[in-house]
Amino acid sequence: MAMTEINDQLLEQFFQPAKAVKVEDNGFTERVMRKVPYNAVCLSHLWTLFCVLLGIVAFVVFVGWQPIFRGILTLLNTNIGDLHPVPIFMTAGVLISLAVVELVQKMERLQI
């Protein structure tokens, strides 16, 4: 038996008597638990907003649109025959794989 399993069993035995004890707190625990998820969601939304704003600022400061436009113009000025097929197939493979993973996850959530 592994040491962690022994520790888990010892902890379970130690806390077993405490499971049966009911501490009356006049609904305090329920009130706290109702507020926790909202705060977590609010913090998550604020963090997401902060990261998006930071990305926008970095995009503007480092003139992020120039490499995008340069790449688009290069693609438009390139003959299709000059493009190497391996990166195109690799990109298509990655995108198809991501789409399949997303589809499987949605089907698992919907239990189809």
Whether 54 and 60 have beta carbons less than 8 Å apart is answered as no
78-107 pLDDT, tens digit per residue, is 777 777 778 888 999 999 999 999 999 888
pTM over 0.85: no
Burial of 95 (0-12, 13-18, 19+ CB in 10 A): exposed
14-62 pLDDT, tens digit per residue, is 888 877 777 788 888 888 777 777 777 788 889 999 999 999 999 999 9
pLDDT at 63: 92
Confidence label for 13 from pLDDT (cuts 50, 70 and 90): confident
Amino acid at 6: I
CA angle 24, 16, 30 (to 5 degrees): 30
